[in-house]
Amino acid sequence: MITTSYHNHSTWSDGSSTPEEMVLAAKAAGLSEFGLSDHWVIHPNKCKDSVSWSIKLDRLEKYVSECLTWKQRLDDENFTIRIGIEVDFFEENYQQVLAQLRQFPFDYLIGAVHYFGTFPIDHSAGPWQSLSQQQIDDIWRGYWRKIRNLAASQSFDFLAHLDLPKKFNFLPSEGFSAELEETLLALQKFDLPLELNTAGWVKPCSECYPGKATLKRACQLGIPVLVNADAHQKEHVTRFFPEAEQLLKDCGYQQVCSFASRQRKFINL
């Protein structure tokens, strides 16, 4: 049974439920460990739209403080709040971003890519609709490169939504399987876990991130995995968890990761 969920959002970034509502819902749902991981985006090109869906740059300390407050109030022998954050990876500034985060007692850092340059990968279908197939391929190619560089940085505890650009069904042309394989090999080389993100099942792609074939290959390569709801409201904290557990078993997985104080452990399925 899946009893942990670390990738979730609140009104600190782009969620619609407050931290209080999220943590109380997670405890009521029977999770043993739960973490908020609101977005932290410092775009090197000062992309204006990024500030609208991430923690405000002068509010990080207050975000961590509120998470710790709820941890002190709600932790007991059956339930533990973990402190996390979802960090957008940019080759140009990730070292400075991570240096700023080291002063806080995070249990885990999630690595994520939501931009190709200033192109917003998953905000809406609109930016994709005017692109040619070659431009779509270029974005996919650049996205995979960024994921490989994220893994090579060895700075994150797990990777968010591996194949996020499929969200609106703007898929690469045939022949991109080599790019995915190279990316999975990078995760293997740098021992970076990936998540089965259940939110994809309600997106236009109608498939979790990543899909079954990719999960099977990740299992063959020994890449660790965990399940996250990527919940943005309290009703979704364990959405599709039974389906996710069965999918992992079908793909050959027998364990999932858990995290505390930036240390990884394993839980049997």
Print the SS3 string covering 88-125. Answer: ECCCCCHHHHHHHHCCCCCCEEEEECCEECCEECCCCC
Q: Give the amino acid at 231.
A: A
CB distance 208 to 201 below 8 Å: yes
How many other β-carbons are positioned within 10 Å of the β-carbon of residue 32?
A: 17
Domain of residue 107, CATH code: 3.20.20.140
CB distance 34 to 82 below 8 Å: yes
Compute the distance between CA of residue 37 and CA of residue 197 in angstroms, rounded to an integer. Answer: 14
DSSP 8-state assignment for residue 54:
S
Query: What pLDDT is stored for residue 174 in this prediction?
Result: 78
Compute the distance between CA of residue 108 and CA of residue 76 in angstroms, rounded to an integer. Answer: 20
CB distance 4 to 31 below 8 Å: yes
In the numeric block, which tokens belong to residue 34? Answer: 């739960």
Compute the distance between CA of residue 169 and CA of residue 139 in angstroms, rounded to an integer. Answer: 13
Number of separate domains in the chain: 1
Q: Is the predicted pLDDT of residue 250 greater than 90, yes or no?
A: yes
| pLDDT digits 0-9 by tens, 97-108 | 999 999 999 999
Q: Is the predicted pLDDT of residue 248 greater than 70, yes or no?
A: yes
Confidence of residue 10 (pLDDT cuts 50, 70, 90): very high
Q: What is the mean pLDDT of residues 1-10?
A: 96
- For the chain, give the mean pLDDT: 96
> CA nearest 101: which of 45, 49, 145, 42?
42
Confidence of residue 240 (pLDDT cuts 50, 70, 90): very high
Q: What is the mean pLDDT of residues 151-175?
A: 95
| pLDDT digits 0-9 by tens, 23-49 | 999 999 999 999 999 999 999 987 767
| pLDDT digits 0-9 by tens, 73-131 | 999 999 999 999 999 999 999 999 999 999 999 999 999 999 999 999 999 999 999 99
The CA-atom distances, in angstroms, between 165 and each of 35, 104, 177, 181, 265 are: 25, 31, 14, 16, 29
The CA-atom distances, in angstroms, between 166 and each of 91, 159, 201 are: 22, 16, 12
Query: What pLDDT is stored for residue 112 in this prediction?
Result: 98
User: 153-183 burial, b for 16+ CB within 10 Å, e for fewer?
Assistant: bebbbbbbbbbbbbbbebebeeeeeebbeeb
Query: What pLDDT is stored for residue 48 in this prediction?
Result: 67
Query: What pLDDT is stored for residue 176 in this prediction?
Result: 78
| pLDDT digits 0-9 by tens, 14-25 | 999 999 999 999
Query: What pLDDT is stored for residue 251 in this prediction?
Result: 98
Which residue range is the domain that position 254 belongs to? 4-268
The CA-atom distances, in angstroms, between 7 and each of 48, 74, 85, 110, 228 are: 24, 19, 8, 8, 5
Task: Calculate the dihedral angle through the C-alpha atoms of 243, 245, 246, 252, rounding to the nearest 10 degrees.
Answer: 140
Q: Give the amino acid at 205.
A: C
